[in-house]
Amino acid sequence: MLRHVTQRAIAGIAVVGGVVTLTFLLLHAAPGDPAERLLGPTATTEQLAAQRRALGLERSLPTQYATWLARAARGDWGISIATGRPVVAMFAGAWPATVRLVLLSLFLAYGLGLAVGAVQATHDGSRLDTALSITSVALFALPGYWLGLMLVMVFTYWLRVLPAFGSAGFDSDFLTGWPRVADRLRHLALPLLTLTLIGVGGTARFVRGAMLDVLAAPFVTTARAKGLKPSHVIRRHVLRNALIPVVTLLGLSLPALFSGAVFVEAVFAWPGVGRVLVEAVQARDYPVVMAATTISAVLVVLGNLLADLLQGVVDPRIGTRQP
Amino acid sequence: MKRLLRDRRGLFGLLVLAAIVLAALAAPLVSSGDPDTQRDIVATRFLPPLAGDRHGVFHPLGTDRFGRDVWTRLVYGARVSLGVGFLAVLLSITIGTAVGAVAAYWRGAVGALLLAVTDFALALPRVVLLLLLAALWRPSAALVIIVLGVTGWMSVARLVHGEVRALAARPFAEGAVALGAGRGRVLWRHLLPNALTPVIVAAALGVGNAILLEAGLSYLGLGVQPPTPSWGTMIASGRDTLVNAPWVATAPGLALALVVVACTLLGDALRDALDPARAGRER
């Protein structure tokens, strides 16, 4: 077991290293100069040169790369070129909003998706199954940012019941106790609803497929032939085995904690990591983009590893067996 | 094919896609002409759906804030969105098939290297990479195609790799080798045609995904640039006029969802039709 995990961890570190190097090279290969963006089109050549020196951009690529790596290893991710704030502080500020949003929506989407998919698989071919199938395909196909806009239109502009932008109202600093919590929840409602609806479609489709695959397996026929109660067969035999691929999918959606909500955050002006990322990319903010890619690469690797380990928990047969 | 048409999902998907592709191809015939036409902005902007303007032009889906006909932009936008989606998937399938086939058939150092590259690319955060690539170079339709293609080939490579390896051990492949066929010929004429089934399914599902991502990039301003109509840019421009003209953002979003639903259903039906083991079971 330990050996397996160690091997995977080493491979993971290699992947993260590769991503970091690739991002670094891409950033520097692309046209466009952060110094120019910072100073605007009226800057003189001397000003540009001075700014480039201040940002450390005049040194050779390998030197810049080595410097960045050494600093990053010590926890110093540099200063954002566009905002002048430390990169660490920017992410520390944005992180909780994204985690709150994505974790809740993952939880809801998987809970609902499991329930819907299980109902569909046990009623395979019925009218209910068809209706739920159509709904989940439609939800799966909706672009998140568009669904978000539609919800804003209905709930904010027509019904005037929910706020559309940000994570708190203008007056939230003056609120305490329940009104403050209520304000936060009202702001959370629409982005959470959007992400959950989109997620449920995909999860339900996946759970339905996984359960149907298991239902066709010989051991389910055996369990039924033994005279076990149908509900027992479904719960103990079918659902448990169908969870294996679902758990893999859950592990793979861990990186979504970081980047998955990019589009939805953009619609709702949610002050999370996705917005930091989009703004940084547009402003060619090298230090922020480097940090963002590194973090998301680490999360992808961790997600894969977690899915691996969870599979072992859900399915004892896999355990330490080498793939 | 017959089995595909008997499947209601497959029939629906095919009909919807055919209708949208036809409308996109025949855009000048089914619409009021140029998608960028602006006549007398003040009088013709924000006309609701099913309204006519003073110039005698009928607007089935209304007009946007520049007085441009939404239906016309929608069908011209379909050219861009579908074109980008199809080409991106074509690119990713070409790369994926090549990598997967070579890795499966030339094992040893080359195969191991290609597989390692595939695993590495699979671990890349796609959304971050998309944003990065799209933001760093000047945004254009061609760039979106390349970016989507380059970030989407890995699952196809995995699929093809598995199929080709399994097929290479089958008697007909050994027979071809025994008859003196070269490696390239065996791969090209005997193995690949048999390995294409899952690739076709992946392609059908991939087109929907690619169109969604294209629209997302264009929505963020990193894809197709206005005034060229693409469904993503149309949603983005409708975002600003959600209060006075909700139809501007609604129409392209519905079109997008319809295409993705059609692709998904078609992909599901194809998988079942091509895989006899599943055919009897799933509806």
Residues of chain B neighbouring A19 (CB-CB closer than 8 A): 123-125
DSSP β-ladder status, B58-59 and B51-52: antiparallel
Q: What torsion do the CA atoms of A260, A261, A266, A267 make, to the nearest 10 degrees?
A: 130
Residue A98 lies in a domain: yes
DSSP, collapsed to helix, strand or coil, labels residue A98 as: helix
Test A282 with B127 for CB contact under 8 angstroms.
no
pLDDT surpasses 80 at B126: no
The H-or-E segment that residue B52 falls in is: strand B51-52
Predicted pLDDT of residue B127: 74
Interface membership of B29 toward A (CB under 8 Å): no
Per-residue model confidence as pLDDT tens digits over A202-260: 888 888 888 888 888 888 888 888 888 888 888 888 888 888 778 777 777 776 666 65
**Under an 8 A CB cutoff, do A142 and B283 touch?**
no
Tell whether A25 is covered by a domain: yes
Residue A220 belongs to domain spanning: 2-31+77-321
- In B, residues 223-262, which contact A (CB 8 Å cutoff)? 235, 238-239, 242-243, 246, 249-250, 252-253, 256-258, 260-261
The CATH number of the domain holding residue A214 is 1.10.3720.10
A304 inside 8 A of chain B by CB: yes
Q: Kindly state whether residue A218 falls inside one of the protein's structural domains.
A: yes
pLDDT digits (tens, 9 = 90+) for A172-203: 666 777 777 788 788 888 888 888 888 888 88
pTM recorded for the entire structure: 0.79
Just give the CATH number of B60-276: 1.10.3720.10
Residue A313 maps to a domain: yes
Structure tokens at A142: 């909706």
Residue with tokens 């709930």: A155
- Spell out which residues of chain B touch residue A30, defining contact as CB-CB under 8 Å: 136-137
Average the pLDDT over A92-120 and give the result: 87
ipTM surpassing 0.85 = no
Number of domains in chain A: 1
Alpha helix stretches (DSSP H) within A74-126: 87-122
State whether A293 and B265 contact (CB < 8 Å). no
User: Residue A323: what pLDDT?
Assistant: 40
pLDDT above 50: residue B279: no
Q: Is the dihedral of CA B250, B256, B260, B261 positive or negative?
A: positive
Domain parsing of chain B, residue ranges: 60-276
Q: CA A283, CA A116: separation in Å to the nearest integer?
A: 43
What average pLDDT does range B184-200 have in this prediction? 79
Q: Is B218 within 8 Å of B232 (Cβ atoms)?
A: yes
Q: Please list the helix, strand and coil fractions of chain A in percent, rounded to the nearest 5, in that order.
A: 75, 0, 25
Q: What is the pLDDT of residue B55?
A: 67
